[in-house]
Chains A and B, each alone.
Chain A
Amino acid sequence: MFNIFKKSAGALVCAALLSGVASSVPQIASAANERLQAVLERGVVRIGVQSRFVPWAYRAKDGSLKGIEVDLAHDVAKAMGVKLELVPIRSSNRMQFLQQGKVDLLIGAMSDRPDRRKIVGIVEPSYWASGMTLMAKKGAVSSWDDIRGKPICGKQGVFYNKIAESQFGAKVMAFTGNSEAKEAFRSGKCLAWLYDSSSIGMDLAMGEWKGYEAPVPTIRENPWGAAVPMEERDTLFGRFLSGMVYHWHESGRLIELEKKWGVPPSPWIAGMHKTHKYNRAYLGK
């Protein structure tokens, strides 16, 4: 923790030198529950969501953000009794946004990884899960080993890229957004599109990708964590979010959202729904 603060202070000094003006030091919460209080005082909770991730969180024609994670964000704001402000984030900047306090919490399709847990307060349980997989033209790829030395399209800021490069020897071309990466893939600039199994499953189910398939087994299946700032993980704010996620599993809300948005049912979510059932038998009928 200390290192991170020291480093961001270093960056600030650097920015101040560059701009020639003194910039203010970001507010770092010292007292517990500061964030929760700030949210309540503001009357608005700022939740970071993706903006180009159909159907988890994407921009609709009227300009508003829609999707599964947006619905979850509404649930959170409703439970807190405050207004919701959705902040579009990118995979490459979401943790910085949370660190800087630009968003109060993050429901941003973020895999729960040990290195990320050192930076942001990822709460348990996780709300979704997916792994890395490939989409390719039918018959072009049959196993993960087929991508050795081949160009693969990916998205910047996604940790699958490094695995594909170091473990499978692929040449990953990472683009700034899904749309650019998929365009590059569809126009044949790479052998496969390396991304999240949930998103690829969705694309294939939507029927926009006839003649393509997800030919390799999903590996590194990893839950997605909702997150609060690091220092809030074990305070009221983090515990509240844990409760929200637990309730989503317990009540079947996530299964309901899968159906609402037409996502292929995930065995992981079905399993969580089962294991997170509280046994109320002792209450009788």
Chain B
Amino acid sequence: MFEWMAPAFASLYKATGWNFIVFYERYEYDRFVDGAMLSIGLILLCLVLSIVIGVLGAWAQGSRSRAIRWGMGAYIQGFRNTPPVVQLLFFYFGFGAFVPQVDAGGYYEPLITAFGWAVISLGIFGGAFNVEIFRAGLEAVPRATVEGAESLGFSRLQIYAYVTLPLAFRFCLPALSNNLVSLAKTTSLAYVIAVPEMTYTLNQVWSDNVNVPEMMILLFLFYVVVVSLLSVFLGWLERRLALSGFG
């Protein structure tokens, strides 16, 4: 791939001054590829974590214990109504100090790296929205369906896992995909805690090589492509799972 395109971009630079150094210099190319892979990994992990939190949270919100319901409410409101960039800094710097770490001689090999904190912080942030989305989905499941399952002798957990959740998931998919797309975009904030994802990497490249406009265009295109692919996939899923007679 690199050998194939390097000459073209090198001559583009010579001819026009457009310096896409990440496509013709080995060191920068490796940085770029690493950054892209890390960004995609970060996005996927954040989405998965936020969905898991959403599913568990919506289950907890239906709990009979008032303390659990109140705790969920506080979590949702706390994360929805504060700036994600400050949350990220707070998690990384604030909580990072309380996590056990292994002394590696002068520094600590942390159990949770900056990447790990980004996944946790952004996953929890996105999860706060997902809980509400799943709850709305659960509420849309007809009461009669649940009663039917109860009369067949399903337990509360079984009903949640086999009946209400699969239905709720389909009901809330449009809202869910909106939130997941927005979360994917928010992952670029990991830049502030030095996670070498795409935004961070291209920033390094443009400050080392002073080719700001080119790298900015590349950054913009990267996210537009990745996020568009994600929303196309979610749109396909929506159509695939659509229930006739609902929505």
Contacts and interface: CB of A to CB of B under 8 A. Distances in A.
A and B directly contacting (CB within 8 A): yes
Interface stretch (A101-109, A168-176, A223-231): A168-176
A141 B106 contact: yes
Interface string B90-128: 000100110001001111101000100000000000000
B204 A161 contact: yes
Interface in A151-180: 151, 153, 156-157, 159, 161-162, 166, 173-176, 180
Contacts of B104: 191
Given A141-B106, A190-B107, A8 B207 contact: no
Nearest to B210: A119
A187 B194 contact: no
A3 B17 contact: yes
A136 to B, nearest CB: 6
Interface string B189-211: 00111101000100110011111
B40 interface: no
Contact of B212 (A2, A11, A150, A159): A11
A11 B213 contact: yes
B75 to A, nearest CB: 25
A114 to B, nearest CB: 12
A151 B108 CA distance: 10
A7 B106 contact: no
B151 interface: no
B194 A173 contact: yes
A205 interface: no
A174 B194 contact: yes
A87 interface: no
A14 B107 contact: no
B107 A10 contact: no
Nearest to B92: A184
B107 A184 contact: no
A217 interface: no
A240 B53 CA distance: 63
B93 A192 contact: no
Contacts, number: 90
A3 B114 CA distance: 38
A145 interface: no
B192 A180 contact: yes
A115 interface: yes
Contacts of A2: 17
B27 interface: yes
B107 A188 contact: yes
A197 B96 CA distance: 28
A98 to B, nearest CB: 12
Given A10-B213, A180-B93, A188 B108 contact: yes
Contacts of B181: none
Interface string B160-196: 0000000000000000000000000000000111101
26 contacts: A6-B16, A10-B18, A14-B220, A18-B220, A95-B210, A119-B210, A137-B107, A140-B107, A150-B107, A153-B194, A156-B204, A157-B207, A166-B27, A173-B194, A174-B204, A175-B192, A175-B194, A180-B93, A183-B93, A184-B194, A188-B107, A188-B110, A189-B96, A189-B108, A189-B114, A190-B107
Given A140-B105, A190-B107, 20 more contacts: A7-B213, A11-B216, A95-B210, A119-B210, A137-B107, A139-B106, A141-B106, A153-B194, A156-B204, A166-B27, A173-B196, A174-B194, A174-B200, A180-B93, A187-B93, A187-B97, A188-B101, A188-B107, A189-B110, A191-B104
